[in-house]
Amino acid sequence: MLNVVVGHSNDPDSLSAISEVIEQCHNSLGDKQPQAGILFAAIDFDYALILQEIVQAFPGIELIGGTTDAEISSVLNFQQDSIALMLFSSEEIEIYAGLGRELSKDPLLATKQAVEQAKSKIKHQAPSQLCLTVPESLTVDGVLIVEGLKLALGNDVPIFGGLTADQWKFQKTYQFFQTEILNDAVPVLIFSGKFLFSQGIASGWHPLGRKSRVTKVDKNILYEIDGKPALDFYHHYLGGLPPSGEYPLAVFESEAEEFYMRAPSVYDAQTGSITFLGEIPKNAFVQIAQASRDEILGAAKTSITNALKNYPGTKPDAALFFSCAARRQLLGTRTVEEYQLAQECLTASIPGCGFYTHGEISPLNYGGETRLHHETFVTLLIGMH
The region of weakest confidence among 7-11, 53-57, 338-342 is 338-342
Mean pLDDT of 346-375: 93
Share of the chain above pLDDT 90, in %: 90
Flag whether pLDDT at 80 surpasses 90: yes
pLDDT of residue 127: 77
> What would the pLDDT profile of 282-319 be if each residue is shown by its tens digit?
999 999 999 999 999 999 999 999 999 999 999 999 99
pLDDT of residue 224: 98
Look at 124 and 355; give whichever has higher pLDDT: 355
Shared-domain flag, residues 138 and 225: no
Look at 98 and 348; give whichever has higher pLDDT: 98
Flag whether pLDDT at 357 surpasses 80: yes
Note if the pTM is more than 0.95. yes
Look at 298 and 344; give whichever has higher pLDDT: 298
Shared-domain flag, residues 225 and 285: yes
- Model confidence at 54, pLDDT cuts 50, 70, 90, reads very high
Shared-domain flag, residues 100 and 123: yes
Shared-domain flag, residues 47 and 148: yes
Shared-domain flag, residues 242 and 376: no
- Model confidence at 183, pLDDT cuts 50, 70, 90, reads very high
Flag whether pLDDT at 367 surpasses 90: no
> What would the pLDDT profile of 89-144 be if each residue is shown by its tens digit?
999 999 999 999 999 999 999 999 999 999 999 998 777 799 999 999 999 999 99
The closest of 111, 269, 107, 245 to 187, measured between CA atoms, is: 111
Share of the chain above pLDDT 70, in %: 100
Shared-domain flag, residues 47 and 172: yes
User: Rounded to the nearest 5°, which phi and psi values hold at 288?
Assistant: -70, 140
Shared-domain flag, residues 275 and 307: no
Shared-domain flag, residues 74 and 185: yes
Shared-domain flag, residues 285 and 302: no
| Interatomic CA distance for residues 330 and 332, integer angstroms | 6
* Tally of domains within the chain: 2
**Do the beta carbons of residue 66 and residue 187 sit within 8 Å?**
yes
Shared-domain flag, residues 87 and 154: yes
| Interatomic CA distance for residues 84 and 7, integer angstroms | 6
Mean pLDDT of 30-53: 97
Shared-domain flag, residues 185 and 121: yes
Q: Which of 241, 268, 290 is the last residue of a domain?
A: 290
pLDDT of residue 254: 81
Shared-domain flag, residues 13 and 152: yes
| Interatomic CA distance for residues 370 and 341, integer angstroms | 25
Q: Which of 273, 290, 307 is the last residue of a domain?
A: 290
Q: Which of 264, 290, 316 is the last residue of a domain?
A: 290
Calculate ∠ Cα 187-359-175, nearest 5°. 25
Mean pLDDT of 10-18: 98
Q: Which residues contact 43 (CB under 8 A, 6 or more apart)?
A: 67, 68, 166, 167, 169
Mean pLDDT of 221-228: 97
Write out the residue range of the structural domain in which residue 251 sits: 206-290
Flag whether pLDDT at 51 surpasses 90: yes
